[in-house]
Structure 1
Amino acid sequence: MPTKKFENIPLAVLDLAPINEGSETGQSFKNSVELARHVEKLGFNRYWLAEHHNMPGIGSSATSVLIGHIAGATSTIRVGSGGIMLPNHAPLVIAEQFGTLEAMYPGRIDLGLGRAPGSDQSTAFALRRTLHSSGDEFPQLVDELENYFSDNPAGRVRAYPGTGLDIPIWLLGSSGFSAQLAAYKGLPFSFASHFAPDFTMQALQLYHQNFKPSAALKEPYAMVGVNIIAADTQERAEWLATSSQQQMFSLMRGEPTTFQPPIDDLKEVWTDREIAIFREKLDSDSMIVGTPDVVQQKLKNFIQKTRANEVIVNSQIFHQEDRLRSYELVAEMME
């Protein structure tokens, strides 16, 4: 199905493969397949999965494996990483993994790269066995990875499969570092405004002002993330949103849990401060919660404010039927 658009820009999906309280990882992956097929039919442009570790409520830690699973269950939608945390991996391994994915699903694979660990420092050490590789080395790691994909790689080591394949590389970020690097290298940039809204405009400005055309991209192309929870009534949307807020609060406390069901009475579970944060989030640009009319207006304002070329939608919703319905309501706004 051809990609549909909202306000003349395509919409994408960000999936963290949530593992619900009382459920299991296998069911999470079944839910992701169902969602991917659903949004493909609805006309969304791409479906990205994010690398996180040591978090019992997120099932997308083996991101490349899950990308292959989703791509194999769909037929036209682009599938990729939002993103691979490159300092956790040897660039050669990522080149081989995504070279394999591109060979299996030609023209449908995206490689989004981040510089954060996607975890705490202890987990980063367990992944890398050393902390010598850090976000500071991210530019060199990206250069090394790009070399493996080139037609004539420098050095003796080759990525098979990988060498000579045209796999779009995106840089992801929640600050100005990756924005400037993406601009310098002439790559598409995706900003994590869904969890770092205060830096959105600054990062996008840095990207646009410093962009240098490249063989990959002639003009800047920026995608921004937004949390959307849409429902047929405002009350149900706000009730559903309490699940994603519980996940945020558990991470703030350093006590990650499985993805929790919505809360009926906030005062029985949350402190006054947490309730105030939740209410503040409902009014922010980064979290759009409500009926289709509310979502449509706020999303339109968000796009006009950021001048985004594409928006990637994160909808962390406990009940699968409500999750599918939320994306369906968003799709009804598309042309």
Structure 2
Amino acid sequence: MIDLPLSVLEVSMVEDGRPTTEALANCAGIADELESLGYGRIWFAEHHHSPAIGAFPPAVMTAHVAAVTSSIRVGSGGVLAPNHAPVMVAEQFTTLAGLHPDRIDLGIGRGPGTFHEGTARGLRRGAGPVTDDEYRGDVAAVLGLVAELQFGALPEPWLLASSDAGAELAAALGLPIAFAHHIRPDNTVRALERYRAAFRPSRWAEEPRVLVCVQVVCGETEERVAAMARPMDVVKLGLLKGHSEEAFPSPEAAAARQFTTEEEDLLAGFRAHQAEGTPDHVGRRFAQLADATGADELMMVTPVYDLGNRIRSFELVSELKGDGTGT
């Protein structure tokens, strides 16, 4: 059984051979299913100019999904501060919080959200990568404006992190932290130790609060899981080797891809830190992650081809909770 609240990060994979509009429509469908299954929250990630992930702005998706659901928390995971004026982020999410009280999350992150250099520079109006001081200033400015505006209610702020520096910033600002274990699993435990050691209470959180995001693919058999996970393996391999993204392939196309022994070992090393397998295996991995990280909540990213497959994975995981998956 799983004792922690569970939630979902939706990265809106654009499946090869299917229109982008289908990925867009799936976002609301997934949220509706998650709400019925008792999940606590769904977040939308910010990406740009990606062949595999839809460029669906988190604020827009949050507004849409919050309007067609009734209880699940909805928000950004995250909105990337360097790409936006702080006042716009604050206005968007305080407005959403006013429209949907006690349901809106504002997860803030740092990366550009793209591997395309021209797009990254365009988002920054020609400026180079953000510095540590600029990022800290942007996050502080967003928080200050959110506190001032208060359009009837406040969004719940989180800082997304995948490094020691991000963890230390979350601690200094007194923010709950959402750690990207699905991106930097080798750094999770150390960074969270630094976060807890340096945490300063604030109006946003009186004590450290930790959400850990993990890649999850759950199926009835190991063979089924391997087939469902294979398309993301193709995309992930490029990322692990430092290449740019490629289109999210169909299961048939992914099955036809041949990996070298070295590539298989690289993928196996990544999967060892995630939670891919039958329900029993996923349950054990969740327990291990919770024990190692002290997480207060686990968030799943489930990048598999076909909406029905993703929903079935969420259903199987929800059955591991004896008292519901909500917060």
TM-score by length of structure 2 reads 0.92
CA distance in 1, matches of 2:105, 2:278: 32
Using the TM superposition, give the Cα deviation of residue 235 of structure 1 relative to its aligned residue in structure 2, in angstroms.
Answer: 0.6
The counterpart of 1:20, out of the listed 15, 19, 31, is 15
Partner of 1:231: 219
**Counterpart check, 1:178 vs 2:166:** yes
Structure 2 unaligned segments of length 5 or more: list them. 323-327
CA distance in 2, matches of 1:306, 1:40: 26
Matched to 1:123, the amino acid is T
Matched to 1:223, the amino acid is L
Partner of 2:210: 222
Alpha-carbon contact 2:234-2:254 (below 8 Å) kept: no
Partner of 1:127: 123
**Counterpart check, 1:261 vs 2:250:** yes
1:59 partner SS: coil
The counterpart of 2:57, out of the listed 40, 62, 79, is 62
TM-score by length of structure 1 reads 0.90
Alignment of 1:1-335 (within 5 A): 7-120=2-115, 121-131=117-127, 134-136=130-132, 137-151=134-148, 165-251=153-239, 252=241, 254-262=243-251, 268-282=257-271, 284-285=272-273, 287-335=274-322
Q: Cα distance 1:82–1:269, how it changes in 2: closer, same or farther (>3 A)?
A: same
CA distance in 2, matches of 1:268, 1:316: 18
Q: Cα distance 1:190–1:265, how it changes in 2: closer, same or farther (>3 A)?
A: closer
2:251 partner SS: coil
Using the TM superposition, give the Cα deviation of residue 140 of structure 1 relative to its aligned residue in structure 2, in angstroms.
Answer: 0.6
Using the TM superposition, give the Cα deviation of residue 100 of structure 1 relative to its aligned residue in structure 2, in angstroms.
Answer: 2.3
CA distance in 2, matches of 1:126, 1:61: 17
Alpha-carbon contact 2:227-2:255 (below 8 Å) kept: no
Using the TM superposition, give the Cα deviation of residue 122 of structure 1 relative to its aligned residue in structure 2, in angstroms.
Answer: 2.5
Matched to 2:136, the amino acid is P
CA distance in 2, matches of 1:69, 1:269: 40
Using the TM superposition, give the Cα deviation of residue 253 of structure 1 relative to its aligned residue in structure 2, in angstroms.
Answer: 5.6
CA shift digits 1:225-268 (9 cap, x unpaired): 11110001111101111111111124446342321122588675
CA shift digits 1:146-171 (9 cap, x unpaired): 221224xxxxxxx6xx5674221111
CA distance in 2, matches of 1:164, 1:75: 18
Matched to 2:146, the amino acid is F
1:223 partner SS: strand
Matched to 2:259, the amino acid is W
Between Structure 1 and Structure 2, how many residues are aligned?
319
CA distance in 2, matches of 1:297, 1:147: 41
CA distance in 2, matches of 1:334, 1:186: 30
Using the TM superposition, give the Cα deviation of residue 300 of structure 1 relative to its aligned residue in structure 2, in angstroms.
Answer: 1.1
Matched to 1:55, the amino acid is S
1:14 partner SS: strand
CA distance in 2, matches of 1:266, 1:40: 32
Structure 1 unaligned segments of length 5 or more: list them. 1-5, 152-158
1:296 partner SS: helix
CA distance in 1, matches of 2:268, 2:255: 11
